[in-house]
Structure 1
């Protein structure tokens, strides 16, 4: 009883500022351990104010850099030959974004967001700018932008541009170079530009129903994004009493929770297998590469002069002008391969998320949902999620999967009738026929996209999951079928990571994983996440050891040291002394999976898609050759074959456990194998970013999380890598959701931010 009274007293103390300013002129920011802000306000405008201020405290330089990128000013400030945080050439980035800005697509889409969404953005901008004004550019704590002329107050348009950029991550944003490179035949070839990172958005998601738990719903969220650019997550709790109370993480610069939970529902997203763009192959008018035919009628391409400013080595600023081309469907794209612009054909990119600003309201609606049925209705009503699946569970113990998002309306009949050109991983449609344009459904929120009734979803009381394969085996006991192939395949081979994830669930449900009695609890869900199993090692390590022990020389290469290292390896992605051999295995398995090697011991069997293909066919000469090649690669790079994972997989000097998805790892950390000298192996570039495990009980949520790279991109911040230390030790941050939990945090700080300038507490 005494403890309850103490907790209640603390709650009332810390509710004081928010209650006393309930008139709507400010926000209370309470930070708990690891710098996690809990923002409380009376309305969306003030909620945005508090979040914008808190985010600026942690990441003012990163947001300023995002704004420079989206304003097409990178070449002006940093030179045209440098690269963006995400790896694009500055000039390419500027030309692409200036073309987008001149098009007015974002301004035209500003009619989409609700008043609440607009208020949230307006407050976010004010909060960010309030921090910037209070601190001053010359007084910023982050030396990367302290005193920099390119740091300025942000605008609402800047934030909406960022929202649009997030919506288009797998669409136009991923085609910047092909858009800028699209020039008619005979034009000078553009200079070779810096290649972008190989790593695409990835993720694991598991939602558990009452049959898989002690009767509650549980969610594991595990997105994999870049660690060293602006596609990072920021963790917070956002509360408007009586209207909104959500905790989780969202992407930098977008003032919503994208993955998280409220008191009754938890959800996560995974990168969907659905295509969000199509390519139209144009048939050009003979002798005129700037005109194309549709139903036999000639149409002129739209030529647009795009001018950006670039800084010369002497500091002077010079304009650079490039003519880019488009049709009403989208920009022309070109590459040296199958998308070449020739005298007879050209190609147009059509992006289903072009102009999508409704995603802010979509995430707000998800955050307000109190049950799986509520969530499903929210997805159907808005249908604005871009490029992601949704997995969720609620306090009734109901689990849910959905791929209700923005997908071009291309049915399989349409695809058969209109597909044109080679299979390049993108759907190429015949642009010479108007009947090959996108169709529409009556239940679709916007024309040109598949309606929710055509998109798969599944409700279960045991489990659903997705590890970036198609929806087909969301639950192997209830395969999803009947959706158009543009959404994903059916009956095809699953990735090693998907097969491992399904195996992890099955092993926990029957208790064969060694974690105790069958079924998931919050602690066993955490342990499953960081078990660091490596499927390829589980299935083939012993056979490979037998091969090298029987053949100490393979292809003329002495392999004894490597063989001994593998014999001592734990066979997991754990760090420490027992990790010796893990990095060699990574290099070997990548070489063994080359197309010319018949490496699978058991080939893919459609009747057993969860367990095939599997094993390593050591009888194939290519496997031995791959082993020898791996030894040679290590020798060339000067790396010991028994190097610890700690020495090649680190962040700010902290060993990072996990391994690559193609190895068959769930906890993805994407450091490639040899060859590269140890001193040239960078910090972890990509992988497990934000991890959330939450149990939705009838008495409220119980959760734990890790934002692996920390709240701040500023290396001088105490919250830059504090959570990386926890991650390295497989420790979690306990969730602070209720007022009592927040009040009890030993590192609690409280700040009140007023809407009116000059009022600070």
Structure 2
């Protein structure tokens, strides 16, 4: 269950309990806001040229980094302003003012996390360059809003640099599963066991849910066969929404020279390459959040027990504004309690304080700017040493032939001897950690002898096909490093690892592998289930034939495979459990539903997979290979009324970069849809979708001389009327 659902009870309390202090209001009009601020005058401070290539991808050229940030914001707003606006409103805790009660949960979370007190305290202490880039990006958004007032929320203007910095503070913890942690806390049916001192702590933390995924692979010159260094950038994200990829090319005369992709509201390239180096991001999910069960004073509910003494909660107020109808809005206020550990949640089963990696962290934008402008492995590692990104793996390559995997995380400095996976007693201050472990403790694999590094959401102890990966025994259990082994990691190690030399063709072809490994948890679960006793009705048609077909499946998810659709649907509960034991009854139910739905929609339970597995954009769709946790990652489902799985996450923006023997970089890429995120009248709304479905790439025009013969539009937004 998602966090939005978990927070329902909390928000009902928020609204229901606050009606007495709520009030109705009419928000200011967008027109009055535009009269108040002269956004066009501020924009004239930036000199930037936007060149759209023949795929509609914006190439941003400016003298300064701030020129480029301004141009990136304007170009991205042209293609996806509505999503950027929602991201900013959510970060402010004002999304419900625009979208109604369904967004109130997100608003409460943003305010509960204390994002804005951290911004108010620290924003002016950030380096001037970081603030200037954020404020230039904000100016680009404001200019677009001024020219398109009909698209603008009454609660948006003006966008500020603080909004962009705060966006990272809000979203970054979600990548390691902070929302899942809160969701489980608020689930009255979850087990809430409190840890005891001296319990054995596991070195690896079992992952409870299968991540959507990602993979990054790098090959060193001595392994490539032609002397090149190669990098695969292959993050798996939702295909639309606030964390969907947007491609751009950035170039400033101050040394910002990136090609790659970013998220709505992010003033940087999040992954890609410059002329010197590049990196791929994959999600990692170490245990970085702790929950403390508090003891409340029975005589004073405003106090909690800590080290034998009653302490009084600090408080701040959450103000939730909800759109009712027309221009009417309702604002309610509710106090947020804060213990020494962190903010407090009151639930049906107790009162808890929460502490997490990245709480109050506002330096993430500066960290990412440092990555964007790094020119060497030393500069790249210097950025990582800032410890300003709560989690995320980095698979790295550069023109000098260096390759590396960094299991990046802000690991809390916890004491040993406790099971930090369980809820902790809240009455001991020695369990309230302060600060993070040094960069030296980050698991990393740098220039292994085998010449291959990879990550596919697997533990850092399996980062290469040689013997140079970190050893699990060298890392204490309190670091909470995950243990779940994905099919994709097994396939990378097997397929790439089986080649003495990994040719350019191998490097690309193997990325699109469609198979499950025989030792993957999906294949093992299927074999176990097939050997188990089945319900009596499975001896009747069409179940009997479908069961026999499933027993012959070759573990492929190629579009012409006739058992793949049945297998993927049957294994859905296994996917959801991420390798943990699933009751036979759950797989029985998934199998029965899959057979019934496939027969009803397609006339047979064994149908070419490409008829079921579809890549959909607007009114068009294309057949797809691939499935959940395959190297050709496709996450669809459930089956729609036409009996199709519509692709909604997984492979999205894909980039192959290489530095040749002379150190010159070249890259090719593909986006799942196209540059025009929301404009279905644009030729770039779905122009890359056929390439994506066919597993093909297009060139990235990294160099200006290559771009000039592929220009579709050229303009300077600050100089437009």
Same fold (TM over 0.5): yes
Deviation at 1:35, TM superposition (A): 1.6
C-alpha change, 1:311 and 1:179, in structure 2 (3 Å) is: farther
Alignment deviations for residues 636-670 of structure 1 (CA, whole Å, 9 cap, x no partner): 67344124344343322423535444xx5122212
Aligned to 2:720: 760
1:117 to 130, 136, 141: 130
Residues 291, 299 of structure 1: 8 Å contact kept: yes
C-alpha change, 1:553 and 1:278, in structure 2 (3 Å) is: closer
Aligned to 1:505: 496
Q: Which secondary structure does the structure 1 equivalent of 2:295 belong to?
A: strand
Residues in 1 aligned to 2:668 and 2:166: alpha-carbon distance in whole angstroms: 32
Q: Check if 1:399 corresponds to 2:403.
A: yes
Deviation at 1:220, TM superposition (A): 0.9
Residues in 2 aligned to 1:570 and 1:391: alpha-carbon distance in whole angstroms: 31
Aligned to 1:64: 85
Aligned-residue Cα RMSD (Å) equals: 3.8
Residues in 2 aligned to 1:740 and 1:347: alpha-carbon distance in whole angstroms: 59
C-alpha change, 1:487 and 1:692, in structure 2 (3 Å) is: farther
1:235 to 212, 222, 247: 247
Deviation at 1:563, TM superposition (A): 5.3
Alignment deviations for residues 663-716 of structure 1 (CA, whole Å, 9 cap, x no partner): x5122212246xx55348674232122211111222411211122133333042
C-alpha change, 1:655 and 1:560, in structure 2 (3 Å) is: farther
Residues in 1 aligned to 2:56 and 2:527: alpha-carbon distance in whole angstroms: 46
Superposition pairs for residues 331-346 of structure 1, below 5 Å? 331-333=343-345, 340-341=349-350, 346=351
Aligned to 1:415: 416
Q: Which secondary structure does the structure 1 equivalent of 2:362 belong to?
A: coil
Aligned to 1:635: 596
Deviation at 1:566, TM superposition (A): 5.2
Q: Which secondary structure does the structure 2 equivalent of 1:579 belong to?
A: coil
Residues 112, 358 of structure 1: 8 Å contact kept: no
Aligned to 1:19: none
Residues in 2 aligned to 1:487 and 1:588: alpha-carbon distance in whole angstroms: 35
Q: Check if 1:478 corresponds to 2:460.
A: no
- Unaligned 5+ segments in structure 2 are 1-43, 189-207
Aligned to 1:143: none
Q: Check if 1:329 corresponds to 2:327.
A: no
Alignment deviations for residues 295-317 of structure 1 (CA, whole Å, 9 cap, x no partner): 11111223444232223357632
Superposition pairs for residues 442-457 of structure 1, below 5 Å? 448-457=435-444
Q: Which secondary structure does the structure 2 equivalent of 1:499 belong to?
A: helix
Residues in 1 aligned to 2:283 and 2:587: alpha-carbon distance in whole angstroms: 32
- Unaligned 5+ segments in structure 1 are 1-22, 83-89, 139-145, 184-196, 421-425, 440-447, 511-517, 601-621
Residues 216, 396 of structure 1: 8 Å contact kept: no
C-alpha change, 1:116 and 1:686, in structure 2 (3 Å) is: same
Aligned to 1:703: 667
Aligned to 1:189: none
1:736 to 701, 707, 712: 701
Q: Check if 1:358 corresponds to 2:341.
A: no
1:528 to 510, 517, 524: 510
C-alpha change, 1:750 and 1:397, in structure 2 (3 Å) is: same
Q: Check if 1:371 corresponds to 2:372.
A: no
Deviation at 1:471, TM superposition (A): 0.9
Moved more, 468-477 or 426-435: 426-435
1:348 to 345, 349, 353: 353
Alignment deviations for residues 375-407 of structure 1 (CA, whole Å, 9 cap, x no partner): 223322x22223101111112222111124322
Aligned to 2:633: 668
1:37 to 58, 72, 76: 58
Aligned to 1:186: none
Aligned to 1:586: 568
Residues in 2 aligned to 1:320 and 1:242: alpha-carbon distance in whole angstroms: 47
Aligned to 1:159: 164
Alignment deviations for residues 724-754 of structure 1 (CA, whole Å, 9 cap, x no partner): 2210111112121112221232x44221233
Aligned to 1:192: none
Aligned to 1:463: 452
Residues in 1 aligned to 2:125 and 2:183: alpha-carbon distance in whole angstroms: 29
Deviation at 1:373, TM superposition (A): 3.0
Residues in 1 aligned to 2:464 and 2:307: alpha-carbon distance in whole angstroms: 45
Residues in 1 aligned to 2:361 and 2:585: alpha-carbon distance in whole angstroms: 51
Deviation at 1:365, TM superposition (A): 1.6
C-alpha change, 1:487 and 1:496, in structure 2 (3 Å) is: farther
Deviation at 1:493, TM superposition (A): 6.0
Aligned to 2:651: 688
Residues in 1 aligned to 2:530 and 2:359: alpha-carbon distance in whole angstroms: 53
C-alpha change, 1:67 and 1:681, in structure 2 (3 Å) is: farther
Deviation at 1:547, TM superposition (A): 7.3
Deviation at 1:599, TM superposition (A): 8.9
C-alpha change, 1:256 and 1:632, in structure 2 (3 Å) is: closer
Moved more, 354-363 or 42-51: 354-363
Deviation at 1:105, TM superposition (A): 1.4
Moved more, 170-179 or 60-69: 170-179
Moved more, 108-117 or 639-648: 639-648
Aligned to 2:678: 714
C-alpha change, 1:171 and 1:111, in structure 2 (3 Å) is: farther
Superposition pairs for residues 122-271 of structure 1, below 5 Å? 122-134=135-147, 136-138=148-150, 146=151, 149=154, 152-170=157-175, 174=179, 200=211, 202-213=213-224, 214-241=226-253, 243-271=255-283
Residues in 2 aligned to 1:505 and 1:457: alpha-carbon distance in whole angstroms: 20
Residues in 1 aligned to 2:424 and 2:535: alpha-carbon distance in whole angstroms: 54
The number of aligned residues is 641
2:487 to 496, 501, 522: 496
